[in-house]
Structure formats: C-alpha cells, structure tokens
A and B are shown apart, each in its own frame.
Chain A
Amino acid sequence: MAVVFQKTRGLTDVETHYCPGCTHGIIHRLVGEVLEELGVLDEAIGVAPVGCSVLAYNYFNCDMSEAAHGRAPAVATGIKRLLPENVVFTYQGDGDLASIGTAEIVHAAHRSENITTIFVNNAIYGMTGGQMAPTTMIGQRTTTSPYGRDAATTGMPIKISEMLAQVPGATFVERVAVNTPGNVRKAKKAIKRAFELQLAGKGFGIIEVLSTCPTNWGLDPVKALRWLEDNLMVYYPLGNFRDYQEVENA
C-alpha cells in the first residue's frame, strides 16, 4: 500500500506532554517537517526553553540543548559561533522570550546571529499555571491578573515582532498563527523561509506563532481557536514585518 502521509522524521516517537487542544504539537511538527524537508535534521541543534516546551528536547529528533529561562538565544549563539555549519534554532514561549529573555533575544537579533527562533505566543504562562505574561491581552483574566489585565498598572501587551522588526540586525520577522489549515500552511512557509535564510548565512530570523492555551484560558479547544482569532489576531496582526530583500534594500 502506498504511503500517503507519515509522521516527520524530525520528531521522535515520544508522546508529548502537551494539553489536549494545545497547538504546540502542530508547531513542533512544522519545525520537524521543515528540518526534514531541508535535509538538515542531522546538522540541526535545537535549544529548548523553560516553559511548556521545556521538554522539547525529548520531541525533536536532533541534538538538543536545554537552556536556562530566557537564555536560549545566548546558548544558541554559543553553539552557532562554534559550529557555523550546523543549523541552530531556539524554540521559546512568550514568558521565556518576551519577559525574562528580552535582552537575549534583542541582542541575538542585534548581532544578527545566524539562527532561527520559533517564538510561541499564547499570551500566558502555561507551565507555571496560567500567570500573566507581558503578552497577555488587556482584560484577560489570569491567575496573577484575576480582575483582568489592567494597562494602567501592567502596561500594554508587548508586540515582539513589531519591536524586533526595528532592530537593524533582524533579517526575517513574521507573525503567523496555526488556528486554521490555511494559516498552518502559511506558518510552515514562514518557518521554512527563516531556516533557508539561515542556511544562506543571512542572519537572524524569528517566527512568532500565535498559539492557544485552552487549559489556562479556561476554554475548550475549539473556543480557544476562536478566542485566538477574535482577540490575539486582532491585537497581534499576522504578516511579515521584515524579510531579507527588504534588509538588503535598506
């Protein structure tokens, strides 16, 4: 019988620990597929963060390094500078990247480290039990914003892609979502583009992926996808903020 579809070799057979309806699984698969399709899985070294995807080193079928909270871009810098021929990526959530790790991500972009960052933004701290993140929406209730996030005391949600697009060293910045089959395809295309630019030695690329957290949002998976569309995608518009051509022309 002809094989029409099979799991990517980019992922191991380990069953993930992610909650039902969480879109981390889709994003993992996209990264795994891209690494496999580009034929770089055996050259790849990934860096896992602290947060829900802390155990990503069990799921990606390549060499992996587990970093301290927020420090993945620094760890990836260390790896890539010593092994420039390898493909190096970080996989980070919004607590990791947009809060504790802002210095590391800004400076990795600033130096235009030739790495690729997958930034999973679900507007909440998942692993620790649903606390407010810098990316949490105004009015969104979390365990540390029980009355809803208030801009007066906690600021407005941080727009990482828009911010990094201002950093001269950022080669590729795109925000995608994985809430519909169409968006999943676009997300994969963006991830592939960022890795291709890395392979071409063009410098730092980041893909912000809007993701759901049904458990901590207190919604079922379908409603979570709808909430993502009605809230996150409104405040965090999808699209490309920077691409290599543009950097060249600038």
Chain B
Amino acid sequence: MSKVLMKGNEAIGAAAIAAGCKYFFGYPITPQSELPEYMSAHLPRVGGVYLQAESEVAAINMVYGAAGTGKRVMTSSSSPGIALKQEGISYIAGAELPCVIVNIVRGGPGLGSIQPAQSDYNQSTRGGGDGDYRLLVYAPGSIQEMVDLVQIAFDKADYYRNPVMVLGDGMMGQMMEPVEFKDDLPKMELPEKDWATTGTKGQRKPNVINSLYLAAEELEQHNIRLQKKYDEMKQNEVRYEEYQIEDAELVIAAYGTTARIAKAAVDQLREAGIKVGLFRPITVWPYPYDVVKNLPESVKHILCVEMSMGQMIDDVRIGNEGQRPVHFVGRSGGMIPTPQLVVDKVNEILNGGK
C-alpha cells in the first residue's frame, strides 16, 4: 500500500480499524481527542460502535463489558484520564480480558498541562490500579511504528488475554508523518474466545467474567497463573532499537519522542567525533533490562533522557546493576528537550569524566 500523511492520533484509529477493532469507548481530553473524533467518524461506516462515555471511569468499564463479549475493543485518553481508568484497567487485567488502551501523555501531576510529556512512565509500567498485574506497554518512536504496534497490540492482547497499552505523548499524537498500512505484519495464531459472555444459547454452561476470588488460596493460584503469563511476555515480547552502540563511550537511553531528539543529538555528536549511541526501548514493559546489562565494554556512561523528572531511569538502573554511572537530563511539564540540551549534557559528562 502507498504512503499517506497522517496525524498520530488519527493513524492510531486507522490502525485499530485495520486490526479489526470496531468498538471504541472514549472521553474527550487534549491532546488525544482526534482519536475519538476519528473513531466517531469511521466506526459507524464499518458497522462498529463509537460511544462517548460520561467519564473515563465509565469508558473503561464499557471496555470491560465489551471486551467480555470477545470482540476487539479500544479506548484512549491522556494522563489524568488514564489515572481515572486505572481502576478499570486493574479489573480488566484481573478478569483477563483483551483490549488496547492508548495513552497520549501530557504534563502532570494533577491537571498539569496539555503539552507533551513522559511523566506517565510509572503510571503505565507500574500501573495505578490495585494488585499484581502487568500491561504490555509499547512506546513507539514514530507514527509508522505506532501504526504497526497498534495492530500488533490487538493480537498480543487476544493472545495473552491481557490489556495492552500504547504509550505516546502529545507530540506523537499531534504530529503528521507518512505512514504505510502494511499487509505483511506478523499475524499470531490466536486461541478461540470460548470464555466470552455472549449468551449460552443453551449450548454450554454459563461463562463468568470476574476478578473476585474470595478464597485466599484461589486468589493466590490466580496470581501465580497471571505471573506465568507475564513471565512469558518477558521472554517473548521485549522490543528495542540500538543505534551506534558498538563502540560508544556513552549510551543515551530514551523512548518515544525523546528517543527522536536523542537520535538527533547522537548524529550531531558523532559528526564531531564523539562516540555516542542510543538505546531505545520499544516495550517499556517488559523492559529490555538485558540490553542495559550487556552494553559493550566501551560504554562508560549511560544518560537517560526523558520528558519528566526521571521515571524510566529506575528501569535503566535496574538493568545497569550498578555497572556504570547513570546520568539524567530531561524537561518536564510539557517542555520538550532540544538536541542541544542532550549534546551539552553528553559533553559535560564526558569532559567531567576525563
């Protein structure tokens, strides 16, 4: 298929529809509103349902009900709205329902700002809901990657019976880039959804969608089973990109928007003969800890760049296992770091380190 120029938020919608998602429950919030708008225009045309809920809380619970019917369903929001959805996300994870949740992050805490940020890293990878649960979280670095991952996300959600989050930010949501809807994306063998609540039709025993286990032993067993699933994700779902790492003296760790900015800085520094590389996690859960752990000998420093006061840096430190100093530079509140900020920080570290 040929390339089209699309805004991130609209591309997500188109990708979801391409993945067979016909149901969307949302609530307006900047900077993701173009996504529900897109769905409201396009889903009725494919025989689907778009519904604007009375709140994010209601929207995620509609997703819970809808996902229980076994059909592909999606919701989206931005940071404070995702915070409201956390209750429902925990229930969806607990009841093992597949769905895709999009978070187009803006500055926080509280009402924060409407400008791009990455300060929902913890909220996305650690969750705000109760209990031992995990989401598979994709953090695409371009609109094309977002389009690919949204489609893959639906397969993964169905395969694992688990919510999958696509983590973007205001910039990714608002910007336009050429995208191609590939027809050769890897497709998974998916199990039949014999657990769905669709009415027994007198053909089977009633199905129950539930996250309540009043007996402690049963709940523990449920948790052990969930953990096995999460372990399988850790084995099979880690994605990342390495850029100019082989001989690097310093590696920048950054995801999504900041990875693009960091890449510009790497190019600039390489032109000046400074050996810098980029490590870009594409899944932020499960995190590519092994990449950080096994960075080449040449790497003396890691610099984490984020649009937050430092959240992913905790994961970088976990992977690093104390091997090298881990530095941080970032902007927050909706401010976007410039390549120059990163270049200056790298120079400061390398000159200070010598």
Complex contact flag A–B (Cβ < 8 Å)? yes
Q: How far does the alpha carbon of A206 sit from the alpha carbon of B49 in the complex, in Å? A: 24
Q: Are A45 and B199 in contact (CB under 8 A)?
A: yes
A63 contacts B58, C-beta separation under 8 Å: no
Kindly list chain A residues whose C-beta atoms are within 8 Å of the C-beta of B214: 55
Residues of B contacting A55 with CB < 8 Å? 212, 214
CA distance A74 to B57 in the complex (A): 9
The distance from the CB of A54 to the nearest CB of chain B, in whole angstroms, is 6
> A165 at the A/B interface (Cβ < 8 Å)?
no
Q: Mark A138-180, 1 if CB is under 8 A from B, else 0.
A: 0000000000000000000000000000000000000000000
- Give chain B residues whose Cβ lies under 8 Å from the Cβ of A47: 65
A64-B206, A66-B209, A104-B54 given; A78·B197 CB < 8 A: no
**Which chain A residues (60-95) contact chain B, with CB distance < 8 Å?**
60-68, 71, 74-83, 86-87
B207 and A63 contacting across the interface, CB-CB below 8 Å: yes
A87-107, CB < 8 A from B: 87, 103-104, 106-107
- Asked, given contacts A104-B54, A107-B54, whether A82 binds B61 with beta carbons under 8 Å apart, the answer is no
Taking chain A's interface residues, is the majority helix, strand, or loop, or is none over half, making it mixed? Answer: helix
Instruction: Indicate whether A65 sits within 8 Å of B206 (C-beta atoms), given known contacts A74-B53, A107-B54, A107-B58.
Output: no
A81 and B51 within 8 A (CB): yes
Evaluate contact between B91 and A68: CB separation under 8 angstroms.
Answer: yes
Cβ 8 A contact of B197, one of A68, A79, A103, A107? A79
A31 CB, nearest partner CB in chain B, Å:
14
Task: Type the 1/0 row for B182-219, where 1 means its CB is closer than 8 Å to any CB of A.
Answer: 00000000000000011111110011111110100000
Q: Are B65 and A63 in touch, CB under 8 angstroms?
A: no
Contacts of A71 in B (CB 8 A): 57-58, 61, 64, 88
A residues less than 8 Å from B64 (CB atoms): 65, 67-68, 71, 74-75, 78
CA distance A76 to B202 in the complex (A): 21
Q: Does B223 contact A (CB under 8 A)?
A: no
Closest Cβ neighbor of B71 among chain A residues: A82
B54 in contact with A45 (CB, 8 Å)? no
Separation of A200 and B202 alpha carbons in the complex (Å)? 22
A63 touches B198 (CB 8 A): yes
Report how far A83 CA is from B66 CA in the complex, Å.
9
Does B61 contact A75, Cβ atoms closer than 8 Å? Answer: yes
B67: chain A residues at CB < 8 Å are 78
Q: Is A13's beta carbon under 8 Å from chain B?
A: no
Tell yes or no: A57 within 8 A of B by CB: yes
Complex CA gap A250/B23 in Å reads 33
Residues of B within 8 A of A60 (CB): 206
Query: In whole Å, how far is A149's beta carbon from the nearest beta carbon of chain B?
Result: 28
Partner of B66, one of A63, A82, A106: A82
- The listed residue (A41, A42, A68, A83) touching B69 by CB distance below 8 A is A83
Interface residues of B in 109-159 (CB under 8 A from A): none
Q: How far is the CA of A65 from the CA of B196 in the complex (A)?
A: 10
Question: Contacts A65-B208, A82-B71, A107-B58: A45 and B87 contacting too (C-beta < 8 A)?
Answer: no
Give the chain A neighbours of B73 by CB distance below 8 A: 78, 82
Task: Verify A75–B62 contact, CB threshold 8 A.
Answer: yes
CB contact between A45 and one of B58, B63, B91, B197 (< 8 Å): that residue: B197
CB of B160 closer than 8 Å to a CB of A: no
Q: What's the minimum C-beta distance from B130 to chain A, rounded to whole angstroms?
A: 11
Option from B61, B91, B206, B211 in Cβ contact (under 8 Å) with A78: B61
CB atoms of A66 and B66 under 8 A apart: no
| B59 neighbours in A (Cβ, 8 Å) | 74
B55 within 8 A of A: yes
Q: What residues of chain A lie closer than 8 Å to B288, measured between beta carbons?
A: none
Chain B CB within 8 A of A44 CB: yes
Interchain CA distance A67-B58 in the complex, whole Å: 11
> Are B61 and A74 closer than 8 Å at their CB atoms?
yes
| Residue among B23, B87, B206 with most chain A CB within 10 A | B206
Q: Which residues of chain B from 42 to 61 have a CB within 8 Å of any chain A CB?
A: 49, 51, 53-55, 57-59, 61
User: Is the pair B65, A64 in contact by a Cβ cutoff of 8 Å?
Assistant: no
Q: Taking the complex as formed, is B25 at the interface, i.e. its CB lies under 8 A from any CB of chain A?
A: yes
Known contacts being A45-B198, A78-B68, is A62 close to B62, with CB within 8 Å? no
Known: A58-B208, A83-B198. 10 other contacts (CB 8 A): A63-B197, A66-B212, A71-B88, A74-B61, A77-B65, A78-B64, A79-B69, A81-B66, A86-B198, A104-B54
The residues of A with any CB-CB pair to B shorter than 8 Å are 12, 41-45, 47, 54-55, 57-58, 60-68, 71, 74-83, 86-87, 103-104, 106-107, 110
Listed by A's residue number, 22 A-B pairs whose Cβ atoms lie within 8 Å are A42-B202, A44-B199, A45-B197, A63-B199, A63-B207, A63-B208, A64-B206, A64-B207, A65-B68, A65-B208, A66-B208, A66-B211, A75-B61, A77-B53, A78-B62, A78-B65, A79-B65, A79-B69, A104-B54, A104-B57, A104-B58, A107-B58
* Residues of chain B having any CB pair with chain A under 8 Å: 23, 25, 49, 51, 53-55, 57-59, 61-69, 71, 73, 87-88, 91, 95, 197-203, 206-212, 214
| Interchain residue pairs A-B with the least CB separation, the first 4 | A78-B65, A78-B66, A74-B61, A75-B65
